[in-house]
């Protein structure tokens, strides 16, 4: 299983707000390491969505935001749209492993 | 705009070696670190390892005994070699560019990915 834990799936209606959690431990998120998020549309490669907890690359709408508290991080999506339907992955550094780790991914369904 | 393209065999026999190359265009390989990441069908992402343009490497401990990543700055490409493969190594393999050094590393440019199936 993945070092970072994400719910397998979340869903929401168009216009609603959804959050996706990413739970780690004292050797990764809890140690203060940055959390990053990727969006993977069906059949495509992941794309950087949020870096260093809550920074959006150019072109990513401000409907996407990130936060972190303790050993967990969250991705929030407001004003849900049909083309937000995708898999979302969190990523961080783990000091116990000495490398980079991902969550298992969360599939977002827009109802 | 930096672009990455994976190339290599799509089918590898069990116990043989998997070899992939990533060609970088639209920018120089120098000055950056470069990773390989894989995604088994229907599963999450797994970081395999990275290499700097100078050749220093860092591998996922779970794969370290079987992985080797090399770089050829003259060709603007880097390569992955995974030895003694099994069906568990079947995955889409992505080459990516690292942004920032450890521990703040994230991945800002991705190749389209290439499916490698391990089967006899």
Beta bridge pairs of residue A68: A73
Q: Which of residues 36-75 of A touch B (CB under 8 A)?
A: 36, 38, 44-48, 51-52, 57
B70-112 pLDDT, tens digit each: 999 999 999 999 999 999 999 999 999 999 888 889 999 999 9
The three-state secondary structure class of B88 is helix
CB-closest option in B106, B112, B113 to A91:
B106
Find the closest chain B residue to A55 by CA distance. B106
Given CB atoms, is A2 within the 8 Å cutoff of chain B?
yes
A43 min Cα distance to partner chain B (Å):
10
Please report which helix (H) or strand (E) contains residue B6, including its range.
strand B3-7
Classify the phi-psi angles of B108: left when phi > 0, otherwise alpha if psi is within -120 to 50, otherwise beta.
alpha
Enumerate the residues of chain B whose CB falls inside 8 A of the CB of residue A4: none
Alpha-carbon distance of A5 to B43, in angstroms, equals 13
CB-closest option in B45, B60, B108 to A89:
B45
B23-66 pLDDT, tens digit each: 999 999 999 999 999 999 999 999 999 999 999 999 999 999 99
Rg (CA), chain A: 13
pLDDT over threshold 90, residue A24: yes
Q: Which residues of B sit within 8 Å Cβ distance of A?
A: 35, 43-47, 49, 58-61, 94, 99, 102-108, 110-113
State the pLDDT at residue A67: 96
The CA-atom distances, in angstroms, between A46 and each of A30, A43, A84, B19, B32 are 25, 10, 13, 22, 20
State the pLDDT at residue A4: 97
Is the bond preceding B103 in cis, omega lying within 30 degrees of 0? yes
Tracing tokens 């390569």 back to the chain, one arrives at B79
Q: What is the DSSP string of A76-95?
A: EE-S--GGG-EEEEEEEEET
CB-closest option in B49, B59, B105 to A93:
B105
A34-88 pLDDT, tens digit each: 999 999 999 999 999 999 989 999 999 999 999 999 999 999 999 999 999 999 9
Determine whether the interchain pair B103/A52 forms a contact, defined as Cβ–Cβ distance below 8 Å: no
């Amino acid at each position: 299983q993945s070092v970072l834990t994400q719910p397998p799936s979340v869903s929401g209606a168009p216009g609603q707000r959804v959050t996706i959690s990413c739970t780690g431990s004292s050797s990764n998120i809890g140690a203060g390491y940055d959390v990053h998020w990727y969006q993977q549309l069906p059949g495509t490669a992941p794309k950087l969505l949020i870096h260093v907890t809550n920074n959006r690359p150019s072109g990513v709408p401000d409907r996407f935001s990130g936060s972190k508290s303790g050993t967990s991080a969250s991705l929030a999506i407001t004003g849900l749209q049909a083309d937000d339907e995708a898999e979302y992955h969190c990523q961080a550094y783990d000091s116990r492993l000495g490398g980079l780790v991902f969550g298992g991914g969360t599939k977002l369904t827009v109802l | 705009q930096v672009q990455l393209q994976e190339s290599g065999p799509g089918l590898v026999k069990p116990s043989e070696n998997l070899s992939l190359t990533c060609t970088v265009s639209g920018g120089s390989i120098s000055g950056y670190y470069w990773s390989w990441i894989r995604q088994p069908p229907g599963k999450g992402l797994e970081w395999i390892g990275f290499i700097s343009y100078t050749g220093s490497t860092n591998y996922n401990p779970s794969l370290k005994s079987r992985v080797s990543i090399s770089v050829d700055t003259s060709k603007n490409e880097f390569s992955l070699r995974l030895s003694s493969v099994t069906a568990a190594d079947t995955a889409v393999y992505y080459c990516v560019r690292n942004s920032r050094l450890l521990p703040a590393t994230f991945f800002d440019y991705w190749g389209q990915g290439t499916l490698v199936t391990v089967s006899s």
